[in-house]
Amino acid sequence: MAAHERHMVVTGASTGLGLTIAREAKRRGWKVLGTVRREQDRERLGEEGIDTEICDITHEDSVRGLGAAVEAWSDGSLAALVNNAGTAHPAPVEEIDLQDLRDQFEVNVVGHIAVTQALLPALRRGGGTVVMISSDNAVITAPLLGAYCASKRALEAFAEALDLETSEQGVRTLIVRPGSYESDIWETSLGRAGKYRTEASRYRDLADRVQRHAATPGRRRDPRELAVRTLDLVERSRAAFRTTVPRNIEATAATLLPWSAYKAAVRRALR
């Protein structure tokens, strides 16, 4: 391994934010390994010069295999891990399929902890940085996104504990909260929401209003902005523990407003 090489692992790198982050890191000279779930994605990223490992972060054997692969690939020294993989199953709390609820926590929380556990030895040797890609929905609760919002809050609690536990060992943890960016996760999630938009659901009208709001033109930003900001944070010797990208008044208001005022604001937005 060349002395100057910096190794970064990005989970969920086949599309969307993860792919954009992997591309930006490669552009800056990082040696990048992205996790994907399909052979065709592996081949496609390989054509761009991005190393890949097929990994389902919800399966323990697959994560153990990733750990072994990263040890060999990085020569046991990892400079950064970006926990990006994510999923969303929009649904009202009353009607959400409990398996959909479990799936969100398996991917958005448990899977990231599993990957972090597997790669911590290499991160410790490399004095590395763990980046948890959270969401501004960790503080901006939205109707039909209760499970997604809860999973992001849980991820941030784990990130806080991880930083308290490992910073003295030379491993830094950062939280990045993206706002609304172009990403396949939302296209997929809107499709999943269809099963809750039936005549039988008492939440159909609310679901229609939420979908119209989500589809507002210009609402979603270019993910390259997020990738640049994330890499800037990783490459700084000192960076804020928690960063919302871009800064937005909604996230600030959600933490400061009384609940009644916040609820009224949400209702106005969904009229």
The catalytic site residues sit at 148
Write the CB contacts of 113 (distance below 8 Å, at least 6 apart in sequence). Answer: 158
CB of 158 closer than 8 Å to CB of 175: no
Cα dihedral 52, 74, 71, 9, rounded to 10, equals -50
Smallest CA-to-CA distance from 153 within 242, 260, 229 is with 242
Three-class DSSP category at 138: helix
Q: State both tokens at 29.
A: 């000279």
CA 46 to chain centroid: 22
CB of 71 closer than 8 Å to CB of 125: no
CB of 199 closer than 8 Å to CB of 208: no
Beta strands in 115-183 (DSSP E): 129-133, 172-178
Residue 163, H or E segment: helix 146-166
CB of 253 closer than 8 Å to CB of 265: yes
